[in-house]
Structure 1
Amino acid sequence: MDLAASGQIVGILLAAGRGRRFDSSGKQSKLLQLLPGGESILATAAKNLSTVLPSAVVCRADTAAAAAHMAAHLQYGKYGGTLLHCPNADDGMAATLVYGLQQTATAAGWVIALADMPFVQVATILALKTALEQGADIAVPVCNQRRGNPVAFSHRHLSRLLALRGDQGARALLQHFPVAEVVVDDRGVLQDIDTVADIPHS
C-alpha cells in the first residue's frame, strides 16, 4: 500500500505509548490485551480505521522483537495499513504524530486516532473523512456535547502539525482555528483504555 500517494485522506493510528498506567513495570503491553471479541485492543483500533482509510500505525522502534510482536497482532480492514517504527517515540506523543505525518506528507488530510480507543465506530471515522472531503480543515466528533477522538485535519494544517513537540497533542490547534463538530451517537469517541479495569468483560 502506498501511503505516500498524494490527494487521499490517510488514517494515522498512534500506538507508541508505554502504557505505564496500565502496567507500571512495562511488562504487559496494553495494546495487545484482548477485548471480549477475541481481538487485541490494537488490532481492533487498526481494523476500524483501515476499514475507511489507508492507514499508518506508528509504534515504538525499541527492538526488532517488539516490533515483530506488534506486527503479528495487527489486523487491517478494507484499505490496509502500514506499520511505522518511530525512532524517537520517547520524545512524546507529538514525535509519534510528526513521524507519521512525515511519512504521509502528500496526503490530502489525516484522521488521527489513538490505539487505546478501540471502540470508535467505523461510521464515525467515515463521518470525519466526509467532513474533510466537504471542506473542513479540522473536524472532531461530538457525543453528548463532548468532543472526542479521532481528530481530522486537512493538508492546510500540515506545517502547524509538524511543528508540534513533546507531549503537545494536535488538539492545541483546535483552540486557535475553526473546527467542524461532527455530532455522533458513539460513546467510543470518549472511551479510552488506561487501566485493566477499563477493559470490558464479556
Structure 2
Amino acid sequence: MRLRPAVIVLAAGIGSRFSASTHKLTERLGASSVLGLTLRHAIASHLPVVVVTTVALADAARRHVAARDVVVVPSVGTPGPAPLGIGYSIAAGVSARPDASGWLVLPGDMPMVQSATLTAVARALEHHPVAYAQHKGRRGHPVGFGAELYSELVTLSGDEGARRLVARYPAHGVEVDDPGVLIDVDTEADLEKLRVMQAAAAAPVQR
C-alpha cells in the first residue's frame, strides 16, 4: 500500500483570544462544532488524520476519529521545565505517524479549509520538501512537510512551530480556490462571521 501524507490537526491551544467560557473549538458551527467541521474536511481528503489535543478536548476529537488517532498532550502554555507550545504539538503528531510520506499541519480552528486543498498540498510534497496552501497569493494553511524532514519535525518545541523549517527549505505555494486557507477562529467575532457566511450559503436562492 502506497504511503500517504498524514494530516496533523492541532487542537491543544488554549484559545486565549476567545473570551467565552467554553473552548472555541467546541463552539457550534452549523450542524457541527469548529473542531468537528475541521475534522470533517480533513477526513474527506482520505488522508490519514491525527488530532493532537488535550484531555479537555480528547472526547470531542474521538467523536470524529478513532481513539488511536487522538494524541493527548499538555495544553499549550502549560508551565514546565521546557516550553511546550505549538512546536511540541507538531512533534507529537508527526511522531504518531512516523511512516507517513509527509505531514500536513492544520490548525483545528480553521474549519473552512476544504478537503481538495489538503489533497493538493499533499500532492505537492511529491516534488517539494515544504508546501503550503495559498489563496490569491496569500499564504495560508495547511503547511506540508516531506518525509525527509522527520528528524527535524520531531524535535520541535516552544511557540515558534515550524517556521524555521519553512524558512530553511524551498517552500512551494499551492494556489487554491479556497479562501478557507486564510480563515481561522481566534475571537467570537471571527466565529460570528463564519456563522453568517454559512447561513448565507445555505439560504435558498430567490428567483
TM category (shorter chain) comes to: 0.7 to 0.9
State the partner residue of 1:114. Answer: 107
Q: Distance in 2 between matches of 1:33 and 1:88?
A: 18
Shift of 1:81: 7.7
Give SS of 2:37's match: helix
- Change in CA separation of 1:168 and 1:120 when aligned onto 2, cut-off 3 Å: same
Between the two proteins, the alignment pairs up a number of residues equal to 187
- Residue 9 of structure 1: aligned partner: 5
Aligned to 1:155: 147
Quote how far apart the aligned CAs of 1:170 are. 1.2
- The root-mean-square deviation of aligned C-alpha atoms, in Å, is 2.3
Residues 35-184 of structure 1 aligned to structure 2 (within 5 Å): 35=29, 37-52=30-45, 53-61=47-55, 66-68=57-59, 70-71=60-61, 74-75=63-64, 82-87=69-74, 89=76, 90=78, 91-132=84-125, 134-184=126-176
1:18 & 1:154 partners in 2: Cα distance?
A: 28
For 1:81 and 1:182, how far apart are their aligned partners in 2?
A: 31
Q: Is the 8 A contact 1:44 1:75 kept in 2?
A: no
SS in 2 for 1:96: helix
Looking at CA atoms only, which structure, 1 or 2, has the larger radius of gyration?
2
Gaps of 5+ in 1: none
1:131 positional shift = 1.0
Maintained 8 Å contact 1:94/1:164: yes
Checking the alignment, whether the CA contact within 8 Å between 1:140 and 1:151 is kept in structure 2 is yes
Instruction: Return the TM-score normalized by structure 1.
Output: 0.84
Q: Which runs of 5+ in 2 are unaligned?
A: 79-83, 200-207
In structure 1, the residue corresponding to 2:131 is in which secondary structure? strand
Identity of aligned residues (%): 35
